[in-house]
Structure 1
Amino acid sequence: MSNIPRLFVPTDLQQDAPVALDEAQSKYLFKVMRLNVGDPVRVFNGRHGEWKASVKEILGKTAGMLQVDEQTRRQGVLTDLHLYFAPLKKTRTDFVVEKATELGVEVIQPVITEYTQAERVRTDRLERLTMEAAEQTERLNMPRVQEPLSLIKLMSSLTDHRHVYYCDERGDDEGAAWGGDDNRARPMADVLMGKPPHSAAILIGPEGGFSPQERSMLRKMENVIPVSLGPRILRAETAAVSALTLYQALCGDWRAAEEGAPQDD
């Protein structure tokens, strides 16, 4: 991995174009990294691939300009993977969002369920987390962080082409812990094995899972596929990482690097 600093910028990128740095980027480049005029920086915007740029002007340590020099990576086709998850306590939500970005999710959708405990979601803060994770992990774009939706509203808005893999840890036996073994979902790896890449979403519930009414609704929906993540009851953030990892390994961009490997400098 290159040790040249890498930044997400919202502006269009093309050869010789100027890029204005905001205060946080300027402090990082000129105060933390101690870059000088002419030093290289890598930039990407989620639309035009990655480009090598150089410091053109330093205006104190709170502003500056870059000049775009040449493209080093083309924008690739990414796995159309969404994550729908019930918000958790602050640091655990941060963990889910950061790892989802690292694992190639394109849309991060907080979902309010009957058992959701943390209903307040700072999407602006989560967007900053995705930007930092994208910069560090060589992604060529940032996932879109959506405003929270109720589970019913989300499921009613889905189109037929998207498969939703619903992580269902329960069985149907009301008298047994976590529903026993009756009508348990199949292991996620078995469900995914041999399936071609397609538009997909992973649905993760809150601690305590989905309510019986929510579970009944999800089980009846045609494009919702219940899956199991094994014999143990996982914490919600562990379930999210586990499910995303399985999908990317068996159906997603771990099988073929659509974005292309970073080029050496």
Structure 2
Amino acid sequence: MARRLAEAGHRVVVCDTRAEAIAEAGHAGIEPAATPEAVATAADIVFLSLPNPGIVRDVVLGPNGVVKGGARIVVDLSTTGPSMASAVAHELAALGIAWVDAPVSGGIAGASGGKLAVMVSGPKDICDEIEPVLAVFGRQFFCGEKAGSAQVAKLGNNMIAAAVILLSAEALAMGVKAGLNPQVMCDIINASSGRNSATQDKFPRSVLTGTFDFGFATGLSYKDVRMCVDEAENLGVPMVAGSLVRQMLAATKARYGAESDFTSMVRIVEEWAGVEIRA
């Protein structure tokens, strides 16, 4: 995403805890910064793309945080849930800094190609102002002015994205055990009413090949689904299937580690079924 901003002609300054990310950014003509405060001193608009709510809060409000610089607008591209978004937005508003939620979906391929879905919530005038910049990332969907609204939409999406991996794994494991070719079964599903993002994309790329490297960590998926179920409970909405997905991700994290790819849920189903779903 930073590279796309630079290629679109924007001056981009970046701070990252990973030295390799800073080095890669430098090759794209992006300027390094030592702290979030330094980014906010150099930029009028600061984008965040971070792993969890606690890190977002620290980067914005902590020592050497974004709030110490002179940025006018903070845009959170992370999936951090509505509660944290509302709390940070409230603190920034008191300082005259605008907060916009803009969680994205579409993975590494969507980010590289500028084809992400960008869910946006925040003050309408600010959202309109940054719309041309967000267009660099992909298609925008305005979810309202209330802080955290876009986060609710993103949590629902991510819960479904994980759920279809689990459901597809169970169906394909059944097919393989019955003697069906899993690639043919994926083709049938994708031409039929069961079509979903797992059988269309994730299984052909990362499961049938046995690589389990789609590009989204099990720990992050578990965090998103956990927040989704928690938010549903806060709103009084039953989330029975979502709770099962959360437990399956918890089992996957325990078995293969938080850094494993979230398609590793399939490996749990394979173990239980005694088959491998391979082309």
Give TM class, smaller chain: under 0.3
- TM-score using structure 2 length: 0.24
- TM-score using structure 1 length: 0.25
From the two aligned structures, give the one with the greater strand fraction. Answer: 1
From the two aligned structures, give the one with the greater helix fraction. Answer: 2
